[in-house]
């Protein structure tokens, strides 16, 4: 069982009055941002009111909550005022999770993270595939270098003819 978790609390008082969405996930798997985006996929139009909370399971039946402090003093005061309302709900949800043997309240996977952040999923699945990808990259790099060299030497050959050089110089002087 994990002993450190990330927690976010979201709400929208206009659309979901009196409803607080609390999501808990093991801390070493995803970030608060990804956890928030997974919540947005399930319930759009909610906003994160905590900015990020770490929950430490002390294994003796106690839980410690650490809030990420805001830089703004007014937001820190607002965060401290919210703690009285939010902390008991987070602890209640965590103890219920622990009784059921669940480690997370929301499903989030790396493939969903790649979708959310629009990342490239072309990572190798085996050592052989990694070798093939590296060989393909080396071959493409060599082909690009060969094309650049051919273009360079073609320009050199073209510019080496005396009548063409004279024409280029005259065009440069005339401003064309």
Q: Tell whether the model's pLDDT for residue 176 goes beyond 60.
A: no
| DSSP string for residues in 92-104 | HHHHHHHHHT-S-
pLDDT at 43: 86
Which of left, alpha, beta for 45 (phi over 0: left; psi -120 to 50: alpha)?
A: left
pLDDT-based confidence at 149, cuts 50/70/90?
confident
CA gap 164, 20 in Å, rounded: 76
pLDDT-based confidence at 135, cuts 50/70/90?
very high
pLDDT at 89: 92
Average pLDDT of the residues in 50-65:
87
For the entire predicted model, the pTM comes to 0.61
Q: With beta carbons less than 8 A apart as the criterion, state whether 122 and 134 touch.
A: no
Strands 47-48, 4-11: pairing is: antiparallel
pLDDT at 118: 65
* CA 150 vs CA 46, 123, 153, 159: distances in Å: 57, 33, 5, 14
- 39-70 b/e with 16+ CB inside 10 Å = b? beeeeeebebbbebbebebeeeeebebebeee
pLDDT tens sequence across 58-92 = 888 889 999 888 788 888 888 888 888 899 999 99
Average pLDDT of the residues in 19-44:
86
The whole-chain average pLDDT of the chain stands at 83
CB atoms within 10 A of CB 112: 15
pLDDT at 112: 67
DSSP state of 14: T
Average pLDDT of the residues in 106-124:
67
Element (H, E) at 64: strand 63-67
């Amino acid at each position: 069982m994990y002993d450190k978790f990330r927690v976010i609390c979201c709400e929208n008082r206009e659309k979901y009055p009196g409803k607080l969405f609390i999501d808990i996930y093991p801390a070493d798997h995803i970030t608060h941002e990804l956890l928030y985006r997974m919540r947005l996929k399930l319930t759009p139009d909610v906003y994160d009111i905590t900015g990020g909370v770490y929950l430490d399971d002390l294994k003796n039946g106690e839980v410690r909550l650490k809030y990420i402090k805001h830089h703004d003093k007014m937001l820190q005061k607002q965060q401290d005022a919210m703690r009285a309302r939010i902390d008991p709900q987070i602890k209640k949800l965590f103890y219920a999770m622990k009784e059921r043997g669940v480690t997370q309240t929301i499903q989030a996977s790396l493939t969903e993270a790649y979708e959310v952040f629009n990342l490239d999923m072309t990572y190798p699945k085996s050592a052989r595939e990694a070798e093939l990808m590296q060989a393909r990259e080396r071959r493409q790099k060599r082909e690009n270098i060969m094309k650049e060299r051919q273009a360079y030497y073609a320009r050199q050959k073209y510019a080496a003819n005396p009548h063409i050089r004279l024409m280029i110089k005259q065009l440069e002087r005339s401003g064309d």
